[in-house]
A and B are shown apart, each in its own frame.
Chain A
């Protein structure tokens, strides 16, 4: 559970972990039923629409003006997006 939380970049309190373990096991139990199905030879659906080669011509379009690009930034600095550094590895 904590490993999955870390992979998702979520921090769960002890109480949350407890509740979630219960909820998720209930759901997984239901979901596990599909594990018993015999689906030998069935192709998984990886694409819903039967399209191929939908591409875009290599022609430039108008980029956002920088002030618009940074308008939503929580911490703009020197024309860039400031973020904390990862902890020293």
Chain B
């Protein structure tokens, strides 16, 4: 049987951080007492009408700009009709075939569309009422009902749960840096659902997809997708067929539960919302949306890779972590000779390790090691004034106590041994004399044996010798 690949698309709901709801002026706020932010409109009293929030439209245009979407010259709202207590009008005002944002792209993944809609209210299930015929009940809190949402739908371009989770992180960071949403999965301002199907590698056709919901962290998102991929593969390999359904992933047990209800799938009976007029983004609105964009992760990653020569991993890390990126750039600004690549390695490698060792909860906006200090340290190593190993020691001290790198070098006697002093040469000669077997092995072609001699030299010099120089001297004397 051919290998099966996963085909994944994501559906992301972003709650916008406006002050008021999508269609009325009730305030958005979280964690308050139930039903203290309601009005006749969001309670859907008879006779009320919606009026769209201007800021929500703006934010949607910014998201569209950040995702390189085509912006619809004219888009309209539709009613999506269904009965549920969390939907007070018994329809959700959303967008159907003419969404505000069309095709776009973020990194390697194409965006299908992004549109505006309103969030549902919250229902809390409570126990039996205690009545004779009592059944379980729900309590509805309309505070959240009407919160502006942007729903982003991707094309099924993702091929792997880890890749999908990583891309979701990129999306989250991109939207976060726009300042239009808190995008917190834990708080519910970011919700990510996955559509997964499988197909034989090399096939162009799409298999039947299932929808995976209820994963409220990136880790669970990945695990959920992995579980579903495994389930589908097993099913298909056993000769079964994947059925279209909605599944909940339970991270505690790792199990997938089907939500498919006994009645037919919803017929939403979409029709254009007659109470709202079309959105026609003006030139000014589009320009404002573009100009409001800060340098976003994808652009930053590209700049770091192409202009500063960083490798992909540190570039992507900085793309995702703007505070760390700012720290990186501040350090580069102070470091004359040290290259950005090297600085990046210091930060992502040794500094990160040192901070973790010391159990430091680092906030790069108020860094433990000021950019100037790290820059100085990097320069010292780059100029071979101290060895990298010594540099690590200095860094440890900087993290633990702070201070000035050069003073520390002086104090600890870590200055690199001068390469053209005879001192190093004589130490190398001694080390070679002390390890004749190793020397023999090197002469025979075992390159790795040099390590023993280098090690001896390093011990003797307390790490102050330059490793490259030591190697050179050994080779010379062979």
Contact = CB atoms under 8 A, between A and B. Distances in A.
Co-complex (A, B): yes
Given A80-B141, A81-B142, 6 more contacts: A58-B19, A66-B33, A79-B141, A81-B139, A84-B138, A85-B136
A64 B39 contact: yes
A46 B97 CA distance: 13
Interface in B93-140: 123-126, 135-140
Main secondary structure of the interface of B (DSSP, over half): loop
B53 interface: yes
Contacts of A63: 26-27, 36-39
Given A47-B277, A60-B26, A85-B135, A79 B54 contact: no
Given A56-B52, A80-B141, A85-B135, A64 B38 contact: yes
Interface of A: 6-7, 9, 46-49, 51-61, 63-64, 66, 69-70, 77-85, 89
Given A47-B274, A69-B35, A55 B85 contact: no
B122 to A, nearest CB: 9
Contacts of A81: 35, 85, 139-140, 142
A47 B85 contact: no
Nearest 6 pairs of A and B residues by beta carbon: A61-B25, A58-B55, A80-B139, A46-B272, A55-B54, A51-B277
Interface of B: 18-20, 24-27, 33-40, 43, 51-57, 74, 76, 83, 85, 123-126, 135-142, 259, 261-263, 267, 269, 272, 274, 276-280, 282
Given A47-B274, A85-B136, A79 B125 contact: no
B278 A47 contact: yes
A77 B19 contact: no
Contacts of B277: 47, 49, 51-54
B280 to A, nearest CB: 4
Contacts of A69: 35, 38, 43, 142
Nearest to A87: B135
Contact of A82 (B33, B51, B138, B263): B138
29 contacts: A7-B267, A46-B272, A49-B277, A51-B277, A53-B278, A54-B51, A54-B277, A55-B51, A55-B52, A56-B53, A58-B18, A58-B19, A58-B54, A59-B25, A60-B25, A60-B26, A61-B25, A66-B35, A66-B36, A78-B139, A79-B34, A80-B34, A80-B35, A80-B141, A82-B137, A83-B139, A84-B138, A85-B125, A85-B138
A43 B248 CA distance: 42
A80 B328 CA distance: 50
Contacts of B137: 82-85
Contact of A77 (B139, B261, B267): B139
Contact of B140 (A51, A53, A80): A80
Nearest to B23: A56
B35 A61 contact: no
Contact of A60 (B27, B54, B85): B27
Nearest to B134: A84
A58 B259 CA distance: 37
A52 B280 CA distance: 6
B52 A83 contact: no
Contacts of A79: 33-35, 141
A46 B141 contact: no
A74 to B, nearest CB: 12
A67 B53 CA distance: 26
Contacts of B54: 55-58
Contacts of B52: 54-56
A46 to B, nearest CB: 4
Nearest to B276: A54
A8 to B, nearest CB: 9
Nearest to A46: B272
Nearest to B76: A46
Contacts of B135: 84-85
A85 B137 CA distance: 4
A48 B272 CA distance: 12
A57 B269 CA distance: 31
A9 B279 contact: no
A37 to B, nearest CB: 20
A82 B38 contact: no
Nearest to A77: B139
Contacts of B40: 64
